[in-house]
A and B are shown apart, each in its own frame.
Chain A
Amino acid sequence: MADLTVARALTDALDIALADPAVVLLGEDVGATGGVFRVSDGLREAHGPDRVIDTPVAESGIVGAAFGMAVAGMRPIAEIQFMGFSYPALDQVINHVGRVRNRSRHRFTAPLVIRIPYGAGIGAAEHHSESAEAIYTHIPGLKVVVPSTPHDAKGLLLAAVADDDPVIFLEPIRLYRAVRAEVPEGPFTVPIGAARLVVGGEDVTVVAYGAMVREAEAAAAELAASGTSVEVIDLRSLVPWDVEAVVESVRRTGRAVIVHEAPRTTGFGAEIVATIQEHALYSLRAPIERVTGWDTVVPLRRAEHHYVPTRAAIAAAVVRAMEG
């Protein structure tokens, strides 16, 4: 076991993945400087500049090349520096990457991973801080994964690289260096599509992912002190997502609070709410609460905390659900 941050756990996973000659890492500044968040620190030295490739600032060029490599027998990992920078590559991702299986009648696969740091955390507003996961979850043919711990960061990234489908791998910026934890050494995978039970509870189910998991966990701890038993589920992947785990929990608790940092309208929370109502409507004892970012643009640092859901907001939603 090694004591690692999320960032170092990802470095470890990339280092292991690059042992396969079919794997390459490409993106802006990923080589010599180790990437904008230093996740690929040292990998260029270890695996060579032909395998850890510093590309031009050209997102369509990067993702298009990674996709072309993937259909021609490789397993590339593309890094896009921030969520907002991924949009120039949406043509590739939406029009081509997700559709190649269908378009080729299953003859082509696209085993590529697109790593995107996302969410608030560095206070740089807009493109550097936003959560647009719902754009990607809406596209057939893409998997979307969001780790929240060092263990899951490593295990999910290795699972993503091994997956024969294209995976959008979202890395919560705020968590890169926020926690350290024990992570097994050597290769292991965390299955894509399986949620993690963060804390067990009986009164309310809180569903979260990414950086919101820690906030939910903190809210649960506060509420426990006042006698409310909160179960926290970390989805870990959004496509596919673990419907069974969530529905089973809500059937027990009868109450649900969904938390995400992204704007509320047509956010992924809406999908979760709809699915719970399809499968567990008669178990519900209160309306399902959503705690989300606003339908506005993420502001600069001094206002960021007004945008991002806080543990207090989550706790308040749990209290409303209990009163519901």
Chain B
Amino acid sequence: MSTEAPPGRDEGLFDYAARPPRLPDPIDDRLDEAEIPREVRLGLYRTQQVLRQFEKRAYDLFMQNLVKGTSHLSLGMEAVAAGFAGAMRPDDYTFATYRGHAHTLARGAAMEAVMAELLGKENGLLGGKGGSMHLTSVEHGMMGSYAIIGAHLCIANGAAWSAQMRGTDQVAVCFFGDGTTNIGAFHEALNMAAVWELPVVFVCENNLYMEYTPIDLTTSVPHPAADRAAAYGLERILIDGNDADAVYLTASRVIQRARSGGGPSLVEAVTYRHGGHSRADPGKYRPADEVEAWLERDPIPAYHRRMLRVGVDEGELVEISRDVAQAVDEATEAAKAGVPPHPDAVYADVWADGGWEWRN
């Protein structure tokens, strides 16, 4: 991808869709030769299938107005979640944003529980009370989806700090979008992580748009995270976020660094949303040829082709895909069959005693 200065700002050109497209780099076929075990690659393939098929179904359910509250999909960005989750240990911590379905599922949360949560049902992950933007699954190390930009980078530091002080070798991985790099908490968190050499990995999923605005129009450097790593004394890491192998290899390296006391990392994974920011957004501000080029660079067919090149049988891949499709169907039916939250849910879970009453 080009790293030239963004056009448009100086010219007063604010028709974003008329801007020159930001095109993806071609896939790096050399990664075919990477030393990644076959089982790991099959796992990455399956996880990407889960994320893709789940979210396509979630999109269909939005269109039927069955999903309550807003929702933000990661369609097109699956390789980042799959590659990192594949490199994490079960007791590691994930912190994500409101665009958190993929990260929650990639850590192993049940599709039924996530789907039911999107539908606001009692059998949802959060009892139907939290919805799409707040997915949390303690059992899977999914420490929460944070819908306020930047805050969770500081919080991930705390979890990592706790692991450091308790003498465990757990690692916290914190995902966020390109827009987050321009908020104060990003700087506060990166600085503190670097000073205390915390076992935390910050992952910028740069999908090129801060909600509706091209990130380069509002950012002082071409690569919002990678170009700032030096400010915290960290390595510049810029990877192809649409290649699960590239993500997995980098994730393994930086997680191992954190686990062994080597301190934090900041990774920028360049990727692209197939759809808009949220369900209210058709994404019309993006140049048509840019969208087309990135759709052709879809991480999942690309990974399918790689699997064939490295000798995996097509039938095996088709079987994985079918398994996942069936699981998504079952999850959808179970979610639809769920009931709305009981009225008591409104009054629960404020205090340590489980309730909301504080008057004696």
A residues whose Cβ falls under 8 Å from a Cβ of B: 21, 24, 50, 55-56, 58, 60-61, 63-74, 76, 88, 91-92, 95-96, 100-109, 140-141, 143, 163-165, 193, 239-240, 242-244
Closest 6 CB pairs of A and B: A68-B158, A64-B154, A61-B188, A240-B358, A164-B352, A72-B162
Report the number of A-B residue pairs with Cβ-Cβ less than 8 Å: 146
Q: Are B351 and A141 neighbours in the complex by a CB distance under 8 Å?
A: yes
Given A61-B191, A104-B144, do A69 and B159 touch, yes or no (CB 8 Å)? yes
Chain A residues with CB under 8 Å of B148's CB are 91, 95-96
Given A102-B129, A193-B360, do A56 and B156 touch, yes or no (CB 8 Å)? no
Q: Are B162 and A92 neighbours in the complex by a CB distance under 8 Å?
A: no
Chain B residues with CB under 8 Å of A141's CB are 350-351
- Is B110 part of the contact surface with A, judged by Cβ < 8 Å? no
Q: Are B143 and A71 neighbours in the complex by a CB distance under 8 Å?
A: yes
Q: Are A73 and B151 neighbours in the complex by a CB distance under 8 Å?
A: no
Given A24-B165, A73-B162, do A104 and B136 touch, yes or no (CB 8 Å)? yes
Ordered by A's residue number, 10 sampled pairs between the chains whose C-beta atoms are within 8 Å are: A61-B154, A64-B185, A64-B189, A69-B161, A69-B162, A72-B143, A96-B146, A108-B136, A108-B138, A243-B359
B residues whose Cβ falls under 8 Å from a Cβ of A: 93, 125-127, 129-130, 134, 136, 138, 143-144, 146, 148, 150-163, 165-166, 172, 184-185, 188-189, 191-192, 195, 348-352, 354, 356, 358-360
Chain A residues with CB under 8 Å of B349's CB are 101-102, 105-106
Interface residue from B159, B356, B359 paired with A72 (Cβ < 8 Å): B159
| CB closest residue in chain B, given A192 | B358
Q: Are B155 and A68 neighbours in the complex by a CB distance under 8 Å?
A: yes
Q: Are B155 and A64 neighbours in the complex by a CB distance under 8 Å?
A: yes
Q: Are B192 and A103 neighbours in the complex by a CB distance under 8 Å?
A: no
Q: Are A50 and B165 neighbours in the complex by a CB distance under 8 Å?
A: yes
Chain A residues with CB under 8 Å of B129's CB are 102, 105
State in angstroms the CA–CA spacing of A88 and B154 once bound together: 13
| CB closest residue in chain A, given B133 | A103
State in angstroms the CA–CA spacing of A63 and B155 once bound together: 8
Q: Are B350 and A101 neighbours in the complex by a CB distance under 8 Å?
A: yes
Chain B residues with CB under 8 Å of A140's CB are 350, 356
Chain A residues with CB under 8 Å of B351's CB are 101, 141, 165
| CB closest residue in chain A, given B135 | A103
Given A105-B126, A244-B360, do A56 and B192 touch, yes or no (CB 8 Å)? yes
Chain A residues with CB under 8 Å of B352's CB are 101, 109, 163-165
State in angstroms the CA–CA spacing of A88 and B143 once bound together: 23
| CB closest residue in chain B, given A61 | B188
Chain B residues with CB under 8 Å of A58's CB are 188, 191-192
| CB closest residue in chain A, given B185 | A60
Interface residue from A64, A102, A164, A165 paired with B158 (Cβ < 8 Å): A64
Question: In angstroms, how far is the closest chain B Cβ from the Cβ of A28?
Answer: 12
Question: In angstroms, how far is the closest chain B Cβ from the Cβ of A35?
Answer: 19
State in angstroms the CA–CA spacing of A88 and B187 once bound together: 14
Interface centre among A72, A74, A100 (most CB of B within 10 A): A72
Interface residue from A73, A76, A100, A108 paired with B166 (Cβ < 8 Å): A73
Interface residue from A64, A109, A239 paired with B151 (Cβ < 8 Å): A64
State in angstroms the CA–CA spacing of A239 and B360 once bound together: 11
State in angstroms the CA–CA spacing of A163 and B352 once bound together: 8
| CB closest residue in chain B, given A102 | B349
State in angstroms the CA–CA spacing of A240 and B148 once bound together: 28
Chain B residues with CB under 8 Å of A105's CB are 125-127, 129-130, 136, 349
Given A95-B151, A140-B350, A140-B356, do A68 and B157 touch, yes or no (CB 8 Å)? yes
Chain A residues with CB under 8 Å of B138's CB are 104, 107-108
State in angstroms the CA–CA spacing of A71 and B351 once bound together: 14
Chain B residues with CB under 8 Å of A101's CB are 349-352
Q: Are B127 and A240 neighbours in the complex by a CB distance under 8 Å?
A: no
State in angstroms the CA–CA spacing of A67 and B165 once bound together: 15
Chain A residues with CB under 8 Å of B188's CB are 56, 58, 60-61, 64
Interface centre among B125, B155, B192, B351 (most CB of A within 10 A): B155
| CB closest residue in chain A, given B358 | A240
| CB closest residue in chain B, given A140 | B350
Chain B residues with CB under 8 Å of A102's CB are 129, 348-350
Q: Are A106 and B348 neighbours in the complex by a CB distance under 8 Å?
A: yes
Given A58-B191, A103-B134, do A64 and B359 touch, yes or no (CB 8 Å)? no
Q: Are A65 and B161 neighbours in the complex by a CB distance under 8 Å?
A: yes
